[in-house]
Amino acid sequence: MDTIYFLVRLSQTVPTRGGLSLSKRCWSALMDWREREKLRSRLIDLSDAELRDIGITRSEVDYVAANRSDDPRGFVGFR
């Protein structure tokens, strides 16, 4: 409880451009990385036939997980 109170008070006194914006960016980057890893593990668990059904090969799994919204075939839907 003391930690939460301290962070709330700190967020009210520290300028946004300072440490909090850095911590928010770090947290956001961590959450993005975790989401990519979840997607990658789900795709790796699929069989080759299932991957063919959605239009990717096993060698494309890392690319698709890293570039969820940028599909070279023009389809946007991996997010």
pTM of the model: 0.60
Q: What is the structure's pLDDT at 1?
A: 47
Judged by DSSP in three states, 69 sits in: coil
Identify the band that residue 17 occupies on the pLDDT scale cut at 50, 70 and 90. low
pLDDT, the chain, mean: 77
Dist. CA 69–CA 49, nearest whole Å: 23
Query: Is residue 42 over pLDDT 90?
Result: yes
Q: Is the dihedral of CA 46, 50, 53, 58 positive or negative?
A: positive
Query: Is residue 35 over pLDDT 70?
Result: yes
Identify the band that residue 67 occupies on the pLDDT scale cut at 50, 70 and 90. confident
